[in-house]
Amino acid sequence: MSRGGVLFAHPKDIRNAIEHALKLGNDPKTMREKPGEVMGYLAHGHPFLDGNGRTIMVVHSILAQRAGFSVDWASTDKTECLQALTKELDDPGKGILDKYLEPYIRPAVIDLKEHINAAKGLDGGRGEQDTVRGSNEDPAVQAEYKQQQRKRDEHSKRA
């Protein structure tokens, strides 16, 4: 599965990616220090063809609220945020999305529904469509996943 050239988790790794994101996000200290990294792992799992951004934002907002803060999504620039997320997905653990989100960190909000609805670009309109890159048995697709996994393994060793 990919969008805009970004390769998401191999189908057999989706569960691990989401579980890792939830493990990080359920630790309040990690969530406060690395909200972008948590968002990156949630996005890496990308288990949905549609509604992925909305679902990730809801999960991320709940994890942030539990950690005592919120992200002012309505003040972010959708294009810049997605560019930072794309870089985070391509090069995890470098703090790319953390740095982008830093100026938008606020005290925890009470009304998550209103907070999330205020975010721009969550109306389901999409510029790019998800695409299926090919069969997971295709050697070229397997090579892309292996390259991606090497990057993530390198990050895990440093963490």
Domain range summary for the chain, segments of one domain joined by +: 2-158
Spatial CA neighbour of 41 closest among 75, 60, 16, 17 = 17
Q: Given 3-state DSSP classes, what are the helix, strand and coil percentages for the chain, each rounded to the nearest 5?
A: 60, 5, 30
In the predicted model, what is the mean pLDDT of residues 122-141? 62
- For all residues of the chain together, what is the average pLDDT? 81
Spatial CA neighbour of 122 closest among 76, 156, 70 = 76
Spatial CA neighbour of 60 closest among 87, 40, 75, 86 = 40
Give the H/E segment covering residue 111.
Answer: none
Distance CA 69, CA 106 (A): 6
| pTM for the predicted model, two decimal places | 0.73
Residue 13 has pLDDT above 90, yes or no: no
Q: How far is CA 136 from CA 12, 13, 47, 145, in A?
A: 10, 12, 16, 9
Strand-pair partners of 3: 6
In the predicted model, what is the mean pLDDT of residues 9-35? 91
Residue 132 has pLDDT above 90, yes or no: no
For the structural domain made of 2-158, what CATH number should be given?
A: 1.10.3290.10
Residue 120 has pLDDT above 80, yes or no: no
